[in-house]
Amino acid sequence: MDKETTSILSPYNEEEKRILINTDCKNSFYSLYHETPPRSKHWCHSHCLLGGGFYKNFFSMALFFFPTVLYCISTIPSFYRVYPMLIVPFLLLFIIVCIFYFKTCYSNPGIIPRKYRIGNGNYELNNSKINVILPDNIVASRKFCITCLINKPLRCSHCRICNNCVEEFDHHCPWLGNCIGRRNYKSYIGIVFFCSVYLFYLIITSFISLFIGIQYPLTWTSFFDSWKSHWFVEPLTCIYCVPCFGLVFTLLLFHIYQISRGITTNERIKKRYIYNQGFIKNWIKFLFRPIPPIYPLFKNIFK
């Protein structure tokens, strides 16, 4: 049952708009609306987009490709002579991480369309706050976004970097340069999970590769002969990948906790634990809930 509290602003007329502009009223709806366009760029009916700060993708991509290049020039040649099949999991994991990476970076996270009303005519600015009664009589409110001029759906939040309202907003990922929301959260978890497995695989196989060339019976000479040819690149791969794995795996544990509690990162920060449906239901919801279609961003659906 929805309970509405209304405090509707009267539409601005031309005189009011002129006053707002001339007085440079930064907090007015009118000036905010015109000064802060969305920072995301959309193609293919918004199926493909670049979020705010997308150029940071190249940095994270370089961080990802660096150990991969080290691995390819050093560990793979040693393995190929002894266990050629060990290259298959490496290639599979690499391709899976890349797919999830591009899917999360360049897909629509669930941007809610703005109230587009550019041109002449009155601006019907509805500043109502809608209260929604959830099960167990918990009250959640759909607040008004003064930038997008909409009543945000439940669990939606405005990303200041992309300047868009995003459905089930989790956070804005600076590494991926995109918001993480309802439509790309699963692929984001896919990156975090498979990146952890990938880094773990690089660490283990690089470490094993150090010992591959050792001849038996084991002598100090055979041991040092083997290490002479592997002394630099494999240890460097391990040294680079161990802290990366620690960070990514910690992030994965964080998100496993959040999924189990049925909360997003944004809700955890704001201490809003009201959408928890229980451990099993939360996981079923995460795993099997279909991805919703994209909102028609560029059609003036509010006209």
Residue numbers at the binding site for Zn ion (CB under 5 A)? 145, 147-148, 158-159, 161-162, 165, 172, 179
HSE, side-chain direction, 13 A CA sphere, residue 24? 0
Peptide bond into 217 cis (omega under 30): yes
Kindly tell me which of 96 and 146 has the beta carbon lying closer to Zn ion. Answer: 146
Closer CB to Zn ion, residue 142 or residue 172?
A: 172
- Residues paired with residue 12 on neighbouring β-strands, in sequence order: 123
Given 162, 165, 173, 241, the catalytic residue: 173
Closest CA to 147 of 170, 134, 166: 166
Residue closer to Zn ion by CB (options 56, 87) is 56
Structure tokens that stand for 71 in this block: 């691995």
> Smallest distance, Å, CB 303 to Zn ion?
19
> Residue 157 CB, nearest distance to Zn ion (Å)?
8
> In the complex, what is the shortest distance from the CB of residue 144 to Zn ion, in angstroms, rounded to a whole number?
9
Burial (CB < 10 A; 0-12, 13-18, 19+), residue 115, is buried
- The residue among 173 and 202 lying less far from Zn ion, judged by its C-beta, is 173
**Chain-centroid distance, C-alpha 20:** 37
Active site residue 173: yes
Report in angstroms how near the CB of residue 173 gets to Zn ion at its nearest.
Answer: 8
Nearer to Zn ion (CB atom), residue 110 or residue 190? 110
Among the listed residues 157, 107, 109, 150, the one whose alpha carbon sits nearest the alpha carbon of residue 127 = 150
Residues carrying an active site annotation: 173
